[in-house]
């Protein structure tokens, strides 16, 4: 199979991997309005505060759903007037069977980013922990970090999510997507890995997944990046069925002969929607078995393919999981040709609408993706993969190629 990795070039790139359209010029572009239009087109609306939410937090005014990179889905429910909040487990692989203890948050605002931070219960004890959530009012998406003790251990996780629920129809999600995941062994957190690829969603919700490969609509197969077809079985897409329930929750169910195997007691895969200005994004709670029957949990994110506009990609982005001089969290300055770590020495060359083909050691076209070229700790060439989720959010593989970093425009 082929490996995808990122790369931005000064002249950019194009083509490949589905229909691609350039975004409007920055001078006339309004991210908030474009995101609202996308949400409307998808039939996505703010998550409705449920009776269960108000039972958890008196007078609850808002709810946001988020996928934790340990492989859980949690809801952040809060009262904007009292600053009280709780976390609710919507799906868990770690025994979080009840709501968290109540906490009090502090909210600060910088431009279009609202930051919620605070402790709930007693951190380090059952149902206690802490949150730092950065919510983008333009796209109604969020990133951040959460620590939550499940009674045995503290789950420390990066999170990404949204304030939006999908409409009843999934037809508007149809198209080609680029994706990447981050997974680990559920039992011990070991053997982290990250795999990029592409997928297709049909208008009836049938998903065809091509790990480390490019989906080809004409043949219905997964192709290598050079356009050739494997003959070892990897050309057959993994198939899943996507559906939305009345509450706007998205589910993926294994279907067909080449599909995923779920752990005992797990009936479906949970997902939620982001509706940024560039198109729909699916954030998926990974919880399935690998070929060796090992339970692998994590986060899986897919964005509908659209060519990156280098001018709209440039700027400063905060990444809560990167390391800067021994500290967690830092800012990356993105230009049309480079990534530079603010306050650090790390830098890399990037090429937009490109991926790195590990099979042939050359860059290939893939609209919406980017290839980042740098060096590792042993001064060896390093090729990383990433893609845009919106004009204000992107994701890329870390230097170890075993986890994802989500970065939000500041």
Structure tokens at 206: 């049938």
Domain that holds residue 371: 308-409
Query: 3-state DSSP: the chain helix, strand, coil percent, rounded to 5?
Result: 5, 50, 40
Which tens digits make up the pLDDT trace of 358-408? 889 999 999 999 999 987 777 888 899 999 999 999 999 988 888 999 999
Choose one of 281, 304, 327: the last residue of a domain.
304
Could you tell me the pTM of the whole model?
0.91
Q: What is the DSSP letter of 172?
A: G
Pairing of strands 327-334, 338-341: antiparallel
Query: 329: part of which helix (H) or strand (E)?
Result: strand 327-334
DSSP 119-179: EES-TTSTT-EEEEEEEETTTTEEEEEEEEE-SSSEEEEEEEEESEE--S--GGG-EEEEE
In terms of domains, do 368 and 380 share one?
A: yes
The total domain count for the chain is 3
Question: In this structure, are 55 and 136 located in the same domain?
Answer: yes
Query: Where is the domain boundary, 165, 187, 216?
Result: 165
132 and 175, same domain (yes or no): no
> 3-state class of 179 per DSSP?
strand
Q: How many Å apart are CA 197 and CA 61, to the nearest integer? A: 38
Enumerate residue ranges in the chain where pLDDT < 70.
1-29
Question: Are 58 and 134 part of one and the same domain?
Answer: yes
Nearest to 330 by CA among 347, 343, 349, 315: 343
Q: Does 17 map to a domain?
A: no
Based on the domain organization, do 183 and 300 belong to the same domain?
yes
For the stretch 27-72, pLDDT in tens is 446 899 999 999 999 999 999 999 999 999 999 999 999 999 999 9
Please tell me the predicted confidence (pLDDT) of residue 16.
Answer: 33
Same domain, 393 and 291: no
Give CA separation, 206 vs 18, 219, 255, 370, in Å. 17, 16, 9, 27
Q: Report the pLDDT value the prediction gives residue 29, as an integer from 0 to 100.
A: 67
User: Which residues sit opposite 365 in a β-bridge?
Assistant: 354
Going by C-alpha positions, the residue among 90, 47, 63 that lies closest to residue 287 is 90
Of 268, 283, 304, at which residue does a domain stop? 304
**Measuring CA to CA, which residue among 32, 123, 105 is closest to residue 62?**
105
Same domain assignment for residues 274 and 387: no
Do 105 and 207 share a structural domain? no
CB 158 within 8 A of CB 406: yes
In a domain, 347, yes or no: yes
Give the tokens for residue 81: 């007037």
């Amino acid at each position: 199979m082929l490996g995808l990795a990122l790369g931005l070039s000064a002249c950019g790139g194009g083509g490949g991997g589905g229909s691609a359209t350039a975004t409007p010029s920055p001078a006339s572009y309004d991210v908030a309005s474009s995101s609202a239009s996308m949400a409307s087109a998808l039939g996505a609306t703010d998550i409705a505060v449920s009776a269960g939410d108000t039972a958890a937090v008196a007078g609850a005014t808002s709810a946001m759903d988020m996928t934790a990179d340990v492989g859980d889905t949690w809801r952040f429910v809060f009262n904007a007037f009292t600053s009280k909040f709780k976390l609710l487990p919507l799906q868990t692989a770690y025994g979080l069977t009840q709501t968290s203890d109540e906490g009090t948050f502090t909210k600060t605002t910088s431009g279009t980013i609202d930051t919620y931070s605070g402790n709930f219960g007693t951190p380090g004890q059952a149902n206690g922990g802490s949150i730092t959530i950065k919510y983008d009012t333009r796209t109604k998406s969020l990133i951040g970090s959460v620590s939550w003790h499940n009674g045995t251990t503290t789950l420390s996780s990066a999170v990404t999510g949204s304030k939006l629920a999908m409409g009843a129809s999934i037809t508007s999600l149809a198209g080609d997507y680029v994706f990447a995941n981050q997974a680990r062994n559920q039992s011990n957190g070991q053997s982290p890995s990250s795999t990029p690829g592409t997928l297709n969603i049909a208008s009836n919700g049938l998903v065809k997944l091509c790990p480390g490969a490019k989906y080809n609509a004409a043949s219905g197969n997964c192709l290598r990046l050079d356009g050739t077809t494997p003959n070892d079985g990897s050309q057959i897409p993994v198939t899943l069925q996507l559906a939305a329930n009345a509450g706007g929750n998205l589910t993926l169910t294994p279907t067909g002969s080449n599909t995923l195997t779920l752990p005992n007691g797990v009936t479906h895969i949970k997902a939620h929607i982001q509706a940024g200005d560039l198109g729909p994004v699916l954030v998926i709670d990974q919880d399935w078995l690998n070929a060796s029957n090992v339970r692998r949990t994590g986060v899986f994110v897919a964005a509908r393919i659209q060519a990156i506009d280098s001018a709209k990609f440039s700027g400063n982005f905060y990444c809560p999981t990167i390391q800067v001089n021994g500290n967690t969290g830092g800012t990356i300055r993105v230009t049309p040709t480079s990534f530079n770590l603010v306050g650090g020495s790390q830098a890399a060359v990037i090429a937009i609408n490109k991926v790195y083909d590990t099979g042939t050691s050359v860059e290939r076209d893939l609209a919406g993706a980017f290839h980042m070229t740098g060096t590792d700790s042993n001064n060896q060439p390093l090729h990383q993969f990433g893609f845009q989720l919106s004009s204000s959010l992107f994701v890329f593989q870390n230097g170890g190629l075993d986890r994802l970093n989500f970065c939000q425009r500041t």
